[in-house]
């Protein structure tokens, strides 16, 4: 729920594209939820308007998206356990946050992700081989950012928030209507980069949306240790409007993201969204969450599973047909098989490829290193040939 600076309810303001740029600041309040864990559709006068176009067919598509990216995640985790990937950052449990937000974007919007936004990359059009190659160790980059308007995954915690703000300031100077969406986790809010990004975004009213997936665990540190207030309330101190939404509710996430993106495009400045979700798997496949997490906590959150929630809504509306189930399963199976095949059959990079794409234009320093390394590699071939003679 949005509130004004004094904490008074602002629910009487009917949000539409004309009002979105003028939403008041939020200073606490309820978490937005449009679908309960039991699959019950909850009406909300402030946000229903923003998802009025999401009909039966669109609900089925969202269900498919979420099921498919869960299959990608499961397949990649299995590939890592089998030695085909060096590492993998699971997204299990965060499907609604990623699909609801990314399906709210326009093609010309630009995304700055962390390392966990596999679902967002899938929606933006990244090839499965591009998603896998970094984690296989075959390349230093993933996809061409300009092709899908999405930066490559950022490993350094929170630094992409600065990149997102800088890009948004550039968009503002260009006079474009593009919005920028930057993703990070709850742990990143403890990093200075995120604070600096919000300072600049607020000062220059940059068209950027800070999308925080609060999955409750920054590796082994619980969010209650990182912050004694709701993360959404931190943004208020920077003068940035914020929303706190149920991150396992795909419709709530979509509504909130649409409000924030529309606000950005119309000159309303930045918005902070805290999507309250849960990391049901490990931080990465190198992590063992059983060492620091209570099994009962995982069980509680499993009951709020985002895909199960949408299934229940579809079932209540009479949309969970055998035909839909078969369609979704076939798509997930096909995508899982494609990911596995593209990973296993991925060609190894050539040794000199490490020098490619370091700079966007010719660089004598890099070329000199490449030449030295090439002659070094050739020396082994010459030694073998001489020995054969």
Structure tokens of 117? 């936004």
Active site residues: 279, 283, 292
217-218 and 221-222: which strand pairing?
antiparallel
**pLDDT of 383:** 58
113 vs 54, 107, 306, 348, CA distance in Å? 25, 16, 21, 26
Q: How many Cα atoms within 13 Å fall on the side-chain side of residue 36?
A: 6
Evaluate if residue 4 carries a pLDDT over 70: no
Question: What is the model's pLDDT at position 292?
Answer: 95
Would you say the pTM of this structure is higher than 0.85?
Answer: yes
Contact 168, 201 (CB under 8 A): yes
Render the burial of 331-368: b for 16+ CB within 10 Å, e for the rest. ebeebbeebbebbeeeeeeeeeeebeeeeeeeeeeeee
The DSSP element (H or E) to which 214 belongs, if any, is strand 208-214
Mean pLDDT across the chain, nearest whole number? 91
- At 140, the pLDDT band (50, 70, 90 cuts) reads confident
pLDDT in tens, 267-303: 999 999 999 999 999 999 999 999 999 999 999 999 9
Contact between 261 and 23 under an 8 Å Cβ cutoff? The reply is no
């Amino acid at each position: 729920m949005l509130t004004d600076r004094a904490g008074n309810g602002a629910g009487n303001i009917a949000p539409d594209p004309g009002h979105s740029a003028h939403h008041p600041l939020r200073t606490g309040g309820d978490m937005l939820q449009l679908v309960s864990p039991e699959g019950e559709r909850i009406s909300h006068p402030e946000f229903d308007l923003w998802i009025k176009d999401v009909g039966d067919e669109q609900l089925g598509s969202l269900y498919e998206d979420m099921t498919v990216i869960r299959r990608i995640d499961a397949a990649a985790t299995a590939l890592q356990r089998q030695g085909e990937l060096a590492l993998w950052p699971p997204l299990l449990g965060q499907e609604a946050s990623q699909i609801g937000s990314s399906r709210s974007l326009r093609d010309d919007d630009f995304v700055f992700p962390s390392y966990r936004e596999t679902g967002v990359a899938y929606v933006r059009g990244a090839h499965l081989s591009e998603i896998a190659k970094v984690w296989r160790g075959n390349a230093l980059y993933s996809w061409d950012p300009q092709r899908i308007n999405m930066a490559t995954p950022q490993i350094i915690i929170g630094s992409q928030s600065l990149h997102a703000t800088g890009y948004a300031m550039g968009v503002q100077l260009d006079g474009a209507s593009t919005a920028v969406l930057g993703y990070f986790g709850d742990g990143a809010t403890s990093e200075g980069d995120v604070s600096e990004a919000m300072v600049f975004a607020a000062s220059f009213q940059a068209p950027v949306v800070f999308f925080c997936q609060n999955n409750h665990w920054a590796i082994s540190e619980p969010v209650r240790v990182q912050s004694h207030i709701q993360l959404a309330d931190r943004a208020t101190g920077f003068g940035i409007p914020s929303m706190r939404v149920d991150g396992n509710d795909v419709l709530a996430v979509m509504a909130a993201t649409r409000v924030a993106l529309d606000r950005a495009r119309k000159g309303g400045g930045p918005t902070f969204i805290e999507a309250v979700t849960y990391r049901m798997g490990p931080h990465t496949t190198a992590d063992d969450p059983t060492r620091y997490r209570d099994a009962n906590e995982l069980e509680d959150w499993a009951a709020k599973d985002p895909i199960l929630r949408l299934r229940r809504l579809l079932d209540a509306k009479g949309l969970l047909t055998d035909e839909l189930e078969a369609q979704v399963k076939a798509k997930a199976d096909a995508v899982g098989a494609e990911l596995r095949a593209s990973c296993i059959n991925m060609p190894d990079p050539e040794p000199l490829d490490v020098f490619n794409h370091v700079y966007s234009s010719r660089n004598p320093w890099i070329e000199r290193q490449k030449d030295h390394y090439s002659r070094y590699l050739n020396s082994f071939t010459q030694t073998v040939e001489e020995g054969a003679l």
